Amino acid sequence: MSEKVVVRFAPSPTGYLHIGGARTALFNYLFARHSGGAFLLRIEDTDRERSTPEACAAILEGLRWLGLHWDGEPLYQTGGLERHLKAARQLLESGHAYRCFCTPEELEIRREKARAQKLDFQYDRTCLALEPAEADKMAAQGRPHVVRFRIPEGSTEFEDLVYGPVRFANSTVEDFVILRSDNSPTYQLAVVADDIEMGITHVIRGDDHLSNPPKQILLYRALGAAVPHFAHLPLILGPDKKRLSKRHGATSLTEYRGMGFIAPAVFNFLVLLGWTPPEEREIFMREELIRLFSLEEINKKSAVFDQAKLEWMNGRYLAQMEAVELLELARDDFERAGLLTENSTPEQLGKLLKVLDLAKERCRLTGDLLPRSRFFFPVELEYERKAVEQHWKAGTVIKMTALRDKLLEVEVWQSGPLEEALRSLAEKLQLSAAGLIHPLRVALTGGSVSPGIFETMELMGRELTLSRLGTAIDRLG
């Protein structure tokens, strides 16, 4: 690729950064970094009624959280009015655009007539018949008007980097408005003028924009600018194969962060929504994705958002993290639970880190870290009803009493001697080891899921383990 790649992510701050928008930003970012190019940010805030500072701040926060750091300062579209007006004047002077004085009421009458005849409405070019000098005179007199782009005859073709050759008959595109009656630019004019100003070489966006290139390509050419390459990304669907929306769960990136997902996992997951890596695996580091990413591997088929898979991937990332990193992610939870305070001793902190190292394998969200860890400490247990019904049967009290007596004989409280003691008792009682392990796990943790039971007992310590067993025996009795 000889030209320097320059891409942009151009969100509209009329809502929060959702999963689809984040995926688009991510693909732009990866393509730029892979190519050694620039990743720019443009805030398309020309919808003054719906754009809000809160939504803009949330978009920037979401991008930063994902680590999608843009180059330079963001360009705010509202600051480019002079540039947009200059482009409109250039198009008027070159004859590629003309003033239209048709009123909204007149246009509505024509639309109604087309509807009655079951025809698609297109502007009929009434005002194209006006001489430019006459139109300028009417505008100078204060006559309300818009500026329309004049669609040439023929067709518009381009090579989409995802979908391949695309062709539109120009006859299907009406002379669209580029400047409203209040002198504000429409989306098409502002986007093209800004892309030219920013030197954009590749436009990577969702395929809901696939109808825009014909108009935009014609504008680029009329303004004497190079036409960028286009790549349109298939939309993300929910499990019901309909367009991803709020009914499928949280769609704001900040909501996912609040639900306990971490940025590296979301980053990894989003890349695989519509892109096939050349290597047959699913967990990648950021640097690997930058090295491997290319537009050629983007799928034409829409990707399906699978939150269960995102949770699994998040769990794999948590399992790879150091305990001190995990503690920072869940610090507030542990402080509220009283398991971490300003007065925590080095020994207490050390135990907490060991617990997190053991518990992390079974965590999928950061919110799982405390529930999977708290039973290692002297807190009151809540027994899961299903676990009790499944593993505390008739005769369990006899088994647990015998096990407590056996554990009292263990001199070195480590996983090896503890396992040896349990298995020897199981053999003596003519039971499988699982016949003791499952009810023991409920007694020690309150549930049926925990790290390895012998490592759990070692880290829990002799006193707490025997105390929990005693409580369970009393409850069983």
Q: Where are the domains of the chain?
A: 6-73+236-308, 77-233, 321-373, 385-476
> Where is 446: in which H helix or E strand?
none
Q: Which residues of 267-279 are buried (b: 16+ CB within 10 A; e: fewer)?
A: bbbbbbbbbeeee
477 residues of the chain, pLDDT tens digit each: 557 999 999 999 888 899 999 999 999 999 999 999 999 999 998 877 788 888 899 999 999 999 999 999 999 999 999 999 999 999 999 999 999 999 999 999 999 999 998 888 999 999 999 999 999 999 999 999 999 999 999 999 999 999 999 999 999 999 999 999 999 999 999 999 999 999 999 999 999 999 999 999 999 999 999 999 999 999 999 888 888 877 776 678 889 999 999 999 999 999 999 999 988 899 999 999 999 999 999 999 999 999 999 999 999 999 999 999 999 999 999 999 999 999 999 999 999 999 999 999 999 999 999 999 999 999 999 999 999 999 999 999 999 999 999 999 999 999 999 999 999 999 999 999 999 999 999 999 999 999 999 999 999 999 999 999 999 999 998
The phi and psi torsions of 12 (rounded to 5 degrees) equal -100, 125
pLDDT at residue number 243: 84
Task: Tell me what pLDDT residue 139 has.
Answer: 95
**Quick one: pLDDT at residue 469?**
97
Q: How far apart are CA 108 and CA 304, in angstroms?
A: 40
Q: How far apart are CA 179 and CA 420, in angstroms?
A: 82
Residues annotated catalytic, as ranges: 246
Whole-number Cα distances in Å, 85 to 78, 194, 284: 12, 12, 46
Q: Which residues belong to the annotated binding site?
A: 246
191 contacts: CB under 8 Å, gap ≥ 6: 10, 44, 212, 216
Matching CATH topology for 6-73+236-308 and 77-233? yes
Do β-strands 202-206 and 229-233 pair in parallel, antiparallel, or remain unpaired?
A: parallel
Burial class (CB in 10 A: 0-12, 13-18, 19+), 216: buried
**Angle at alpha carbon of residue 313, lines to 311 and 319, rounded to 5°:** 100
What is the C-alpha separation between 394 and 374, in angstroms, rounded?
29
Q: What angle do CA 55, 60, 61 make, to 5 degrees?
A: 95
What pLDDT is stored for residue 249 in this prediction?
65
CA-atom Rg of the chain in angstroms: 32
Q: Which residues are documented as binding site for ATP?
A: 246
Distance CA 424, CA 419 (A): 8
Rounded to 5 degrees, what are φ and ψ at 286?
-55, -45
- In CATH, which of 3.30.420.40, 3.40.50.620, 1.20.140.10, 3.60.9.10 is domain 77-233? 3.40.50.620
Phi-psi region of 332 (alpha: psi -120 to 50; beta: other; left: phi over 0): alpha
Maximum Cα–Cα distance across the chain: 107
> H or E element: which one contains 452?
none
**Which residue is it, tokens 């950061």?**
366
Q: Which DSSP letter does residue 235 get?
A: P
Per-residue model confidence (pLDDT) at position 240:
87
Which helix (H) or strand (E) segment holds residue 467: the answer is helix 462-476
In terms of DSSP H, where are the helices of 71-126?
81-93, 104-116
Residue 247: the pLDDT is: 72
Task: Give the per-residue pLDDT at 254.
Answer: 87
CATH annotation of 6-73+236-308: 3.40.50.620
Q: What is the predicted pLDDT for the residue at 250?
A: 64
pTM (2 d.p.): 0.90
CATH 1.10.10.350, applies to 385-476: yes
Helices H / strands E in the chain, number of each: 20, 12
Return phi, psi of residue 434, to 5°.
Answer: -60, -30
